[in-house]
Amino acid sequence: MLKYIIVGLLLVTSFLSSASSEVNVYSYRQPFLVKPLFDQFTKQTGIKVNVVFAKKGMAERLAREGKYSPADVLLTTDISRLVELREKDLVQAVNSAVLKEAIPAQYQANDNTWFALTTRVRNIYSAKRLGNIDFNYEDLADDKYRGLVCTRSGKHPYTVGLIASMISEHGEEYTLDWLKKFKQNLARKPQGNDRGQVQAIHQNLCDISLGNSYYFGKMLTDDKQKVWADEVYINFPNQNNRGSHVNISGVAMAKYAPNQANAKKLMEYLISKPAQALYAQTNMEYPVRKGVPVSDIVASWGQFKADDLPLEEIAKNRKAALILLDKAKFDL
């Protein structure tokens, strides 16, 4: 009998040891980007990283799984997606001096439920045939650009984030009027993705578009898309006033994380200088941690002034932004 008890205890110990050497990640980030990071983390710590990749539906999956969810760490893009996870009570606070000190206050939640890992600018791309122009986001509504602007759907999180920042700066009445005039300047119905807008400029369908900064770097390193990128300037808007709107990719710990200690270790690793440098080189994003160099391509665009309004303040206007988009019938 004692023999079986000992065997049983050994099996339980083995199981717990195995479970404690793993961490489970749900990720919107593409495999090619995060796998090198996870491989390095495993090499340093011995903790195996199991990843579920998805393009959408993270919040719905977590809600469906409830307390039985295996998820420990959640990787996602855009402040609105992080706020959604918090609003649906799907994440928990993480008390980490490492995260708090390494990440600027404007790029982390006041209640420690989410943290930025990288930043990206919402740039304005313009055809070189227009010449070099100092743009503000407000200029997208200027009559002189009637029929010259392309953009993706207003309901996309990237666009919603920009509109929410406009509400923070100018209020809802101004932003609604801006959206209506912005729509009047569109060369076509909102469609496609950010790269598709630069392609449209290349095809002479429009001259101006919105796009995240890292897409420009990706196009410049793609043989097919480089011809599109070579025909536009990447502009950092509002450099003479509040600065360019910045969004993030970020991380949070799942509410029912079964491997909390390992999850915290992974989150802290992702903000380390080596991990931040790898992010910067692989995905043409800006490291959120100061003192980490950007890639050579990104550095070639020069420095810029970012809007210093905390992303949490901007995120509060997310629902208002969606209402204004409907009022303006922006996507119709």
Instruction: Provide mean pLDDT across the span 289-310.
Output: 95
Evaluate whether residue 132 is within a structural domain. yes
- Higher-scoring residue by pLDDT: 107, 5: 107
Evaluate whether residue 253 is within a structural domain. yes
- Higher-scoring residue by pLDDT: 157, 199: 199
Here the CATH number for the domain that contains residue 131 is: 3.40.190.10
pTM of structure:
0.88
d(CA 79, CA 107): 9
Beta bridge mates, 122: 212
Q: How many CA atoms lie within 13 Å of 13's alpha carbon, on the beta-carbon side?
A: 6
Residue 63: count of CB within 10 angstroms of its CB: 13
Interaxial angle between packed helices 172-184 and 318-328, expressed in degrees from 0 to 180 and rounded to the nearest 10: 40
Q: Express each pLDDT in 7-16 by its tens digit.
A: 333 323 333 3
Is the pLDDT score of 4 beyond 70?
no
Q: Are residues 208 and 322 in the same domain?
A: yes
Rounded to the nearest 5 degrees, what angle is found at the Cα of 38, between the Cα atoms of 83 and 273? Answer: 80
Is the pLDDT score of 19 beyond 60?
no
For residue 34, give every residue at least 6 positions away whose Cβ sits within 8 Å of its Cβ, in sequence order, or none. 25, 27, 51, 75
Q: Are residues 71 and 97 in the same domain?
A: yes
d(CA 54, CA 29): 8
Confidence tier at 206 by pLDDT (50, 70, 90): very high
What is the extent of the structural domain holding 101?
22-119+246-297
Is the pLDDT score of 1 beyond 60?
no
Tokens of 302: 């020069």
What pLDDT score was predicted for residue 33?
Answer: 77
Q: Are residues 253 and 240 in the same domain?
A: no
Q: Express each pLDDT in 132-172 by its tens digit.
A: 999 999 999 999 999 999 999 999 999 999 999 999 999 99
Q: Are residues 165 and 44 in the same domain?
A: no
Evaluate whether residue 2 is within a structural domain. no
Q: Are residues 140 and 75 in the same domain?
A: no
What pLDDT score was predicted for residue 169?
Answer: 96
What pLDDT score was predicted for residue 20?
Answer: 65
Q: Are residues 281 and 158 in the same domain?
A: no
Q: Are residues 312 and 215 in the same domain?
A: yes
Evaluate whether residue 5 is within a structural domain. no
Instruction: Provide mean pLDDT across the span 216-221.
Output: 95
d(CA 44, CA 107): 27
Compute CA 19 distance to the chain's CA centroid, rounded to the nearest angstrom.
30
d(CA 189, CA 152): 9
Evaluate whether residue 181 is within a structural domain. yes
Evaluate whether residue 8 is within a structural domain. no
What pLDDT score was predicted for residue 6?
Answer: 34
Instruction: Provide mean pLDDT across the span 227-244.
Output: 97
Average pLDDT value for the chain: 92
Evaluate whether residue 61 is within a structural domain. yes
- Structural domain tally of the chain? 2
Q: Are residues 241 and 264 in the same domain?
A: no
Q: Are residues 171 and 314 in the same domain?
A: yes
Evaluate whether residue 10 is within a structural domain. no
Q: Are residues 71 and 107 in the same domain?
A: yes
Closest listed residue to residue 332, CA positions, set 145, 154, 210: 154
Beta bridge mates, 26: 52, 74
- Higher-scoring residue by pLDDT: 78, 148: 148
Is the pLDDT score of 53 beyond 80?
yes
What pLDDT score was predicted for residue 251?
Answer: 97
Q: Are residues 209 and 285 in the same domain?
A: no
Q: Are residues 59 and 187 in the same domain?
A: no
What pLDDT score was predicted for residue 282?
Answer: 84
Is the pLDDT score of 108 beyond 70?
yes
Closest listed residue to residue 205, CA positions, set 226, 221, 191: 191
